[in-house]
Structure 1
Amino acid sequence: MVSIEEKLIKRIKKGDRDAFPELVELYKDKIYHVAYRMLGNAQEAEDIAQETFIRVYANLENYDPNYKFSTWIYRIATNLCIDLLRKRKQSVYSLDKTMEGAEGVDWHDRLADPDLGPEDKLLEGEFHGQVQKAIDSLSPKYRSIMILRYLEDLSLNEISEALKLPITTIKTRIHRGREALKKKLNF
């Protein structure tokens, strides 16, 4: 059975100008969320998402239809994030640096939940903040795998294809990433 992505790619290659925006629409939120979770900065996540789609369009001829399109686009996005994280480390001072403690905050998670009381909401918000901070403090090689596995719910095979790493390496990094998070969260 031919996937939606494959149909759109065929249309794009035939010159259909309406097909690429449809492809972007399918993946824009997913790519943004992966980038945001890796970078903890909304503006940088938007920039990475845009750059991802630019690279997809420019390299569509190189896409191998024997692999899932989602794997290919996630690999592009995570590689761009890792590159940006490396650049961040090189420049300690940044004019774009957000306020301390505000990075990685998902404000949608902080909206009032009618089922929770004020104290429960406060505790839950603090916990989400602690988890996001712990994930942000992981090295990029662990952070990308933890995000793809647990937040994006990709299988080990999909992560392996996306990051071009053997499954045994993925399993090891998941284990080590979990252990690092347990230490950081005092579990």
Structure 2
Amino acid sequence: MNVMEARLARLSLKGDQGAFAELVSLYQDKLFHMAYRMLNNRQESEDVVQDTFLRVYKNLDRYDENLKFSTWIYRIATNLCIDRLRKRKPVYSLDAESTEHEGLDGYSMIPSDDRTPETELLLSDTQRIIHQAIETLPPKYKTVMTLRYMQDLSLQEIGDIMDMPVTTIKTRVHRGREFLRKKLEHKL
């Protein structure tokens, strides 16, 4: 897979539209699901996917073939999601519990156009509560928790995507879990 992606990237760099279209079809759904889990907004997620492919196309000449193509493209998409999350709401401190969103259920922050009867039924109470809790995490923890538990990526893959040492990722996963545990203690 990695060899094929590198070949497609090389062909795309040479102007092969077909090769680039293959890269898009390989990744558009995966990137959309990852973005949607981080942003909980269909329109924003679609925008992130589009922006990701624009950046990939513009920066193909910078692609380092020693890096897995998937790592590179996820890194771009993740950074775009983090940028949107930072612009969206205030940064939370893990030390000082913010009261700004007290009583505001995280689920209500999901735009109404994404709450169809089908999705309501699919989300069990437990999933919904966990989903709400993840929503309230600061972006740096929300990102690692989403990549780890919703995208099922390894600590090493997350480290590569975020361009951070695995030890930092481990710490963020641990702190993210602690943050969630405190949030969930009185809800579950």
Query: Fold conserved (TM > 0.5)?
Result: yes
- Cα distance in 2 for partners of 1:82, 1:45 equals 12
In 2, Cα distance between the equivalents of 1:151 and 1:25?
A: 21
| Residues in 2 aligned to 1:84 and 1:36: alpha-carbon distance in whole angstroms | 12
**What's the secondary structure of 1:142's corresponding residue?**
helix
Alignment pair present for 1:55 and 2:55: yes
Checking the alignment, whether the CA contact within 8 Å between 1:109 and 1:125 is kept in structure 2 is no
Q: Which runs of 5+ in 1 are unaligned?
A: 91-98, 113-123
Q: 1:101 aligns with which of 96, 101, 108?
A: 108
Structure 1 position 4, deviation (Å): 2.1
Q: Note the alpha carbon deviations across 1:8-62, whole angstroms, 9 max, x for none.
A: 1122122211111110110111111111111111110111111011001010110
Write out aligned runs for 1:103-142 (5 A): 103=110, 109-111=119-121, 125-142=124-141
Q: How many residues are paired up? A: 168
Amino acid at match of 1:147: T
- Partner residue in 2 for 1:11: 11
Q: Rate the CA distance shift 1:27–1:62 in 2: closer, same or farther, 3 A.
A: same
Q: Which runs of 5+ in 2 are unaligned?
A: 91-105
TM-score by length of 1: 0.82
Aligned CA-pair RMSD? 2.2
Distance 2:27 2:73 in 1: 9
Kindly provide the CA deviation profile for residues 63-108 of structure 1, in whole angstroms up to 9, marking residues without a partner as x: 1000111111111111111111111127xxxxxxxx9626186755
Kindly state the Cα deviation for residue 3 of structure 1 after the two structures are TM-superposed.
2.2
Identity %: 54
Which residue does 2:67 correspond to in 1? 67
Alpha-carbon distance between aligned partners in 1 of 2:148 and 2:115, rounded to the nearest angstrom:
19
Kept after mapping to 1: 8 A contact 2:2/2:69: no
TM-score, with structure 2 as normaliser = 0.81
